[in-house]
C-alpha cells in the first residue's frame, strides 16, 4: 500500500521537477516538457528502477489522466472565434489536415503487413497527433486499445522525426519555405505584450493562490464529466466502451467551453497539459526501451512519410492558393507539434502576428482530433 502511494506521488510530482528544469534552462523549454517527461520515463523503465508489481498503479494513472485532461484542455477554447479565423489561415489549416489524412492512407497501403491485423490503429494515432497533439494520440490509444509497446514505439519515432523537423523550422525553415511561398504581409498592428505573455513559461500559473480555487472547480467538473461518461459502460458493449467514453468526454468538454464562468477560468489548459506530462512519464516508464531498439522499421518509414509527405503536399497546394510562408509554417507547427510550440516558432521567424491564428488552429485540432482519428482508423480497417 505504501509503495503504491509513493509511486502515485512520484508520477504526479515528478513533472514539477521537469517544469522547474525547463524554467531554469531555456533550451529545455524549446525541447518541450512532454518530450523530456517521455524520455525520463524511458530511462526509468530501461534501468528497471520501479518496484515490482507497479503495473496496477501505472494502468490506473494512464487510464485516468487522459480522460480528466481532455475537458481541461477544451474549457478555455473560444469556439465562436473559429468563425473569425483569417481566411488564409483557415484554408491553410484545411490543406494541412487533408494532406495528413491523405498520406496516412497512402502510407498505410504502402507499409501495412498482411500479418499485422492491427496496423490500422497506427493510422488513427497519427491522425490524432498530427491534427491535434499528444493528448489526442493518447486518447486514441485508449479508444483503439493500442498495445503499450506499439504506442510507445510509434510515439518515440514520431518525436525523433518531428524533432528534426522542428530544428529546421526554428533555424533555416523560413528560407526553405520562402523558395516556394510568398512572404507574409505585416499589418503593423502587432501587440508586443501579448507575444511576451505567450512566450513565458505558463505552467507555474497553476500554483498561484488566486488560481487554486477556480482550478479546483474546473478539475472537479472534469472529473464529473469523466464519471458521467464512464457510467455509460454499464450498458455499452465492452468492445465499444472506451470509444464512447472518450467521445462523450470530448463533446462535453467542448459544450462546457460555452459556459462563460468556466471558459474564463485561467490556466485550465495548462492544468490539462500537466496531466499529459503525468501520462507521458507513466506510460514511458512501463516499457523497456532496450527491447524496442531496431524494431518495426516499417513504422519508422510510415511516420517519416506522413510528416514530410503531407508537408510537401501542403506547400504545393498552398503555393496554388498563394498562402504565405509564415502562415503555412505556423499552421504546420500547430498541427504537427501542438499549440505550446506556436510561440517558439513565431519567435524564431520573428512574426508575432501569426501567434493567435496558430494557437487557434492548434485548439481546433485538439477538439476534432479524436473524432477524425477514429473515423480514419475505422476506414483503414476496411482496406
Q: Do the Cβ atoms of 327 and 357 come closer than 8 Å?
A: yes
Q: Do the Cβ atoms of 159 and 337 come closer than 8 Å?
A: no
Give the separation between CA 288 and CA 44, rounded to whole angstroms: 9
For the record, the C-alpha cell of 303 comes out as 511516420
Q: Do the Cβ atoms of 226 and 350 come closer than 8 Å?
A: no
Which one, of 89, 91, 31, lies nearest residue 354 by Cα? 89
Give the separation between CA 220 and CA 289, rounded to whole angstroms: 36
CATH architecture, range 2-381 = Up-down Bundle (1.20)
For the record, the C-alpha cell of 25 comes out as 534552462
The secondary structure of residue 259, as a DSSP letter, is S
Q: Do the Cβ atoms of 266 and 203 come closer than 8 Å?
A: no
What is residue 2's predicted lDDT score, i.e. its pLDDT? 56
Give the separation between CA 144 and CA 71, rounded to whole angstroms: 20
**Which residues have a Cβ under 8 Å from the Cβ of 214 and sit 6 or more positions away?**
265, 266
Give the separation between CA 171 and CA 169, rounded to whole angstroms: 6
Give the separation between CA 313 and CA 79, rounded to whole angstroms: 28
Q: Which long-range contacts (CB under 8 A, 24 or more apart) does 217-220 make?
A: 217/265, 218/72, 218/75, 218/262, 218/265, 218/268, 218/271, 219/68, 219/72, 219/271
pLDDT of the chain, 383 residues: tens digit per residue: 657 888 999 999 999 898 888 878 877 776 678 778 878 887 887 777 787 778 888 889 988 998 998 899 889 877 776 666 678 888 999 999 999 999 999 999 998 876 677 899 999 999 999 998 888 998 999 999 998 888 888 888 888 888 788 888 888 888 999 999 999 887 655 444 344 444 445 566 787 888 889 999 999 999 999 999 989 888 887 767 788 888 899 899 989 999 999 999 988 988 988 998 898 888 888 866 665 556 678 888 999 999 999 999 999 999 999 999 999 999 999 999 877 778 778 878 888 778 778 888 888 888 899 999 999 999 999 98
Q: What is the CA radius of gyration of the chain?
A: 20
Q: At what angle do helices 148-170 and 134-144 cross, to 10 degrees?
A: 160
The runs of H, that is alpha helices, within the chain are: 2-24, 26-31, 33-46, 55-75, 87-111, 120-131, 134-144, 148-170, 173-178, 192-199, 209-231, 241-256, 260-263, 268-284, 297-320, 325-336, 342-348, 355-381
Q: For the whole model, what pTM was predicted? A: 0.80
Structural domain spans, the chain: 2-381
**Which residues have a Cβ under 8 Å from the Cβ of 97 and sit 6 or more positions away?**
131, 335, 365, 372
What is residue 314's predicted lDDT score, i.e. its pLDDT? 95
Q: At what angle do helices 134-144 and 241-256 cross, to 10 degrees?
A: 150
Give the separation between CA 347 and CA 199, rounded to whole angstroms: 8
Q: Do the Cβ atoms of 181 and 360 come closer than 8 Å?
A: no
Q: At what angle do helices 355-381 and 134-144 cross, to 10 degrees?
A: 20
Give the separation between CA 37 and CA 14, rounded to whole angstroms: 9
Amino acid at each position: 500500500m505504501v509503495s503504491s502511494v509513493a509511486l502515485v506521488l512520484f508520477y504526479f510530482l515528478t513533472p514539477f521537477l521537469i517544469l522547474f528544469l525547463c524554467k531554469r534552462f531555456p533550451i529545455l523549454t524549446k525541447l518541450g516538457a512532454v518530450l523530456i517527461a517521455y524520455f525520463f520515463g524511458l530511462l526509468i523503465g530501461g534501468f528497471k528502477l520501479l518496484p515490482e508489481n507497479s503495473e496496477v498503479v501505472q494502468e490506473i494513472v494512464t487510464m485516468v489522466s487522459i480522460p480528466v485532461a481532455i475537458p481541461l484542455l477544451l474549457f478555455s477554447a473560444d469556439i465562436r472565434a473559429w468563425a473569425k479565423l483569417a481566411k488564409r489561415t483557415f484554408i491553410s489549416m484545411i490543406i494541412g489536415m487533408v494532406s495528413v489524412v491523405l498520406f496516412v492512407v497512402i502510407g498505410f497501403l504502402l507499409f501495412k503487413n498482411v500479418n499485422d491485423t492491427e496496423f490500422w490503429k497506427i493510422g488513427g494515432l497519427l491522425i490524432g497527433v498530427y491534427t491535434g497533439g499528444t493528448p489526442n494520440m493518447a486518447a486514441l490509444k485508449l479508444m483503439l486499445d493500442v498495445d503499450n509497446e506499439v504506442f510507445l514505439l510509434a510515439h518515440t519515432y514520431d518525436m525523433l522525426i518531428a524533432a528534426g523537423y522542428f530544428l529546421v523550422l526554428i533555424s533555416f525553415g523560413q528560407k526553405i519555405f520562402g523558395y516556394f511561398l510568398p512572404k507574409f504581409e505585416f499589418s503593423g498592428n502587432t501587440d508586443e505584450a501579448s507575444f511576451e505573455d505567450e512566450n513565458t513559461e505558463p505552467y507555474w500559473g497553476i500554483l498561484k493562490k488566486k488560481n487554486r480555487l477556480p482550478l479546483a472547480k474546473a478539475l472537479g467538473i472534469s472529473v464529473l464529466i469523466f464519471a458521467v461518461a464512464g457510467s455509460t459502460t454499464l450498458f455499452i458493449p465492452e468492445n465499444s466502451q472506451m470509444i464512447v467514453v472518450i467521445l462523450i468526454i470530448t463533446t462535453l468538454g467542448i459544450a462546457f467551453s460555452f459556459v462563460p464562468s468556466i471558459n474564463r477560468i485561467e490556466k485550465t489548459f495548462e492544468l490539462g497539459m500537466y496531466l499529459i506530462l503525468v501520462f507521458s512519464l507513466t506510460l514511458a516508464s512501463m516499457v523497456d526501451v532496450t527491447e524496442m531498439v531496431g524494431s518495426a522499421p516499417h513504422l519508422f518509414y510510415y511516420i517519416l512519410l506522413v510528416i514530410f509527405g503531407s508537408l510537401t503536399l501542403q506547400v504545393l497546394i498552398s503555393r496554388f492558393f498563394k498562402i504565405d510562408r509564415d502562415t503555412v509554417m505556423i499552421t504546420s507547427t500547430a498541427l504537427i507539434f501542438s499549440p505550446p510550440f506556436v510561440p517558439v516558432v513565431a519567435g524564431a521567424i520573428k512574426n508575432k502576428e501569426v501567434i493567435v491564428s496558430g494557437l487557434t488552429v492548434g485548439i481546433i485540432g485538439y477538439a476534432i482530433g479524436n473524432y477524425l482519428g477514429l473515423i480514419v482508423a475505422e476506414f483503414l480497417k476496411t482496406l
